[in-house]
Amino acid sequence: MSKRDSKSGSISRRRLLATASAGAALAASPLGINLLHAQQPPIRIGMSMPQTGGLAGGGKPSLLGIEIWRDDVNAKGGLLGGRKIELVVYDDKSSASETPAIYSKLIDVDKVDLLFAPYATVPTAPIMPLVKQRGLLLIGNFSFQVNSKVGHDMWFNNAPWGPPDSWASSFLDIGQKAGGKSMALLAADQEFAQNLAKTAREVAAKRNLPVVFDQAYPPNTVEFSSIIRALKAAKPDIVYVASYPPDSAGILRAVNEIGVGDNVKLFGGGMVGLQFGTVMENLGSLLNGVVNYNSWLPEKSMYFDGTKDFFEKYTKRAIEAKVDPLGYYLAPFGYASGQLVEQAINATKSLDQKGLAKYLRENTHKTIVGPIAFSADGERKETAVLQAQFRGVVDKNIEQFRSSGKQVILFPENLKSGELVAPFEAARK
C-alpha cells in the first residue's frame, strides 16, 4: 500500500511539473496571450431600452444596431488590447418612471463602465440630472432637446437633429424656394410633435411667414376629415405636419379622400411613423408627394465606410429578432453610438469618462451614418436631418423602399439626390 502510495505520489508530482511547464509554454505562445487577454474583464456598457410599450417599435431596432456593433468589435478582438464589449440592458417599458431606478442600478450595483441613453426623449429626461450630478458620460439616443435646460457637458446625442430650429427651417426653406408664402401647422398634442410645432412657429415668425392655420389635435385621433377640410379652406402654401404613427396614417387617408387644394406646394415635415417599414408598406401609394424628415435613406449619397456591411447584417438579423425589416431610422445610429465610444476609447486608450467626453467634443468622428461633430450642448454641430420626398411608391410592397429613388433627398445640400416636385397635388400622381 505504502509503495503504491509513494508511486502514485511521484507520478502526480511529475504530472504537476509537466502541467506547469506546459502552462508556462502556453502562456508564452501567441495562443496563450490570446487566452490571457480573454480573461481580462469586459468593458460593460449599460442602458435601458424600451422593449415593451409605445416606444418598443423604435427601441428594438435601435438595440439591434448596438448589438451588431458589439459583435463586430468583439470579432475584431475587443478594445483596449483585448477587452470584449458586454451590454447590460434593461427594459424601461417606454416609461419615464422606470429609468431613474434602472440607471441607479447600472451605476451603483452593476458598476458599468459606460452609459448609453434609452431611445427617445421621455425615458431619457429623468436620468439627465442623475448623470450630470455623478459626472458621467452619456451617449443620447434620438431624444430631442433633453439637455437644453440641464446643461450637462458630457452628453452627446447620436441623433442628426442639430440646432433646434434647423428642422423647421430646412422644411420651410424648401417650401419658400418653391414659392410658398403662407404656412399651415397641424400637430399632435404630444411631446415630440409639440416641440416641433413650437420651433416651426418661431421660425415662421422670424421670416414673417404668416401662419394661416394652427391646429393641435388630441393623441389617438383617427378621423381627420373635418380638420383637413378646415385646413384646405385656409388655402396655405406650405403644410407642416407633426404627427405620430397612427395619426400620420389617418391624416394621409383624409388627404387622399378630400385633397388639400392646389395652393399647397409642400406637405409633411415632421410625421413620425413614415420612417418605419411596416407603416410605409401599409400606406403605399398614399405616401407619394409627401416631403418628410428622415435620418437615413438608401440613396447613393448616404453610403459611408461600413454602411453597406451593416445593413447586410441587419437585414439578416432583423428577421430573427422580429423587428423593422428596413431599420433605416434608428438601427444605424445605434451602431454609430458604439462607433463614437469605440473611437474615443481607442484614441484616449482609457475608460476615463472626462477624457472620453473631451475627445468626443473636440473631434469629428467617422461613422456609418457619416461624419459626426458635436457642439457645446452635445447635439450635432450641423443638422443632418433629411427632408425627402416619396415618389413612385406602389401599394403593399416593402421591398421597393430598399431601392434608391423612392425617397428623394431634398435637404441637406451635400446629401441631396433630387429636386422637389411641386405642387403637392401634382406630385401625388
Partner 1 sequence: MKRSNIAFWVGAAVFLVAIFVMTQVVGNQYPFFAGYVILQFIALAVAWSILGGYAGYVNFGTSAFFGVGVYTAVFLTKAFEAPLLVQIVTAAVIGALMGFALGLLTLRMQGIFFSIATIALTIIIETTVMNWRFVGGAAGIQIARPPATPPFDNYVQMLFFVQALLVVLAVAISRYIQNSWIGRGLQALKDDELAAECTGVPTLRLKLLACVISGALLCAIGAPSAMYLQFANPDSAFNLNYSVSTLAMSLIGGTSHWSGPIIGAILLGTTQQLLTVTISSEVNVLVLGIMLVLFVVGAPEGIIGLVRKLRGNRKEGGT
Residue with cell 450630478: 133
Sheet holding 291-294, edge to edge: 211-217, 183-188, 238-243, 266-271, 291-294, 386-390, 407-411
Residue nearer to partner 1 on the CB measure, 49 or 178: 49
- Considering only the stretches 36-44, 184-192, 273-281, 405-413, report the one whose residues sit in contact with partner 1 under the rule CB under 8 A: 184-192
Among 17, 28, 71, 189, binds partner 1 (CB under 8 A): 189
Residue 93 in the binding site for partner 1 (CB under 8 A): yes
d(CA 136, CA 115): 8
In Å, the largest CA–CA distance within the chain is 108
* Alpha-carbon gap, residue 360 to 139, rounded angstroms: 10
Smallest gap from residue 45 Cβ to partner 1 (A): 15
Question: Per CB under 8 A, which of residues 12..51 are in contact with partner 1?
Answer: 51
199's grid cell? 420651433
Q: Which residue, chain included where needed, has cell 391646429?
A: 215
Stretch that binds partner 1, among 1-9, 94-102, 296-304, 412-420 (CB under 8 A): 94-102
What are the DSSP calls for 289-312, one per residue? Answer: T-EEEES--SSGGG--TTHHHHHH
DSSP state of 402: G
Single out the residue of 87, 178, 193, 344 in contact with partner 1 (rule: CB under 8 A). 193
- Interface with partner 1, residue 125, by CB under 8 A: yes
Q: Supply the minimum distance, in Å, between the C-beta of residue 295 and partner 1.
A: 21
* Shortest spacing between CB 135 and partner 1, in angstroms: 14
Region of 146-154, 288-296, 301-309, 417-425 interacting with partner 1 (CB under 8 A): 146-154
2-10, 143-151, 171-179, 308-316 -> range binding partner 1 (CB under 8 A): 143-151
Give min distance, CB of 100 to partner 1, in A.
5
Q: Is 129 near partner 1 (CB under 8 A)?
A: yes
Strand 85-91 and strand 291-294: pairing?
unpaired
Place of cell 467626453: 357
Cα Rg of the chain, angstroms: 26
* Closer by beta carbon to partner 1, 115 or else 266: 115
Which of these ranges, 3-11, 163-171, 216-224, 379-387, lies near partner 1 under the rule CB under 8 A?
Answer: 216-224
Grid coordinates representing 138? 452619456
Stretch that binds partner 1, among 162-170, 191-199, 330-338, 394-402 (CB under 8 A): 191-199
Give the SS3 label for residue 140.
strand
Of 19, 97, 315, 414, the one binding partner 1 by CB under 8 A:
97
CA distances for 69 relative to 72, 277, 330, 337, angstroms = 5, 22, 13, 9
Give the whole-angstrom CA distance, residue 160 versus residue 386.
9
Among 69, 90, 156, 224, binds partner 1 (CB under 8 A): 90
Residue 321 touches partner 1, criterion: CB under 8 A: no
Nearer to partner 1, 322 or 396 (CB): 322
Tell me which of 64, 73, 79, 89 binds partner 1, using CB under 8 A.
89
30, containing H or E segment: helix 30-38
Q: 11 vs 101, which CB is nearer to partner 1? A: 101
Q: What residues contact residue 3 under an 8 Å CB cut-off, 6+ apart?
A: none
Q: Which residue has the cell 404656412?
A: 183
Size, binding site for partner 1 by CB under 8 A = 40
Binding mask 99-118 for partner 1 (x = CB under 8 A): -xxx-xx-xxx---------
Nearer to partner 1, 4 or 149 (CB): 149
Question: Is 415 exposed, middle or buried, given 0-12, 13-18 or 19+ CB atoms closer than 10 A?
Answer: middle
Q: Is 326 helix (H, G, I), strand (E, B) or coil?
A: coil
**Residues within the interface to partner 1 (CB under 8 A):** 51-52, 89-93, 95-98, 100-102, 104-105, 107-109, 121-122, 125-126, 128-129, 146, 149-150, 188-195, 198, 216, 218-219
